[in-house]
Amino acid sequence: MNLIKDVLENVWVKRVFWSIIVILFSLIIYHAVTKILNIKEKKTSKIINNKKNKTIIRMLKSIVAGALSIVTVLMVLQIYGVDVTSMLAGVGIAS
């Protein structure tokens, strides 16, 4: 019993646990947004076979994937104790 308690109180175990939670949460958000965009793409393709709409939806998927990747990496780095304020300033989010 004490071994389990010691393992759970270990700082590295907590960091790995929260890193996994952040990554899983980001994947869930990405899949939800992608699913919504796919539904929109199917609706617009039934009404109008417009290549512009398909291109815009693909671009939005790429933007969402990129933004979520950046946010996820910064959050995981922050969990491990890296100061991310300068990185946020470099991305243009903070001044």
Model confidence pLDDT, tens digit, residues 2-11: 777 676 677 7
* 43: amino acid identity, one letter: K
Specify the pTM: 0.76
Q: Quick one: pLDDT at residue 41?
A: 78
Q: Which residues of the chain have pLDDT under 70?
A: 1, 5, 7-8, 45-49, 93-95
* 24: amino acid identity, one letter: L
DSSP state of 93: S
Is-contact 65 37, C-beta < 8 A? no
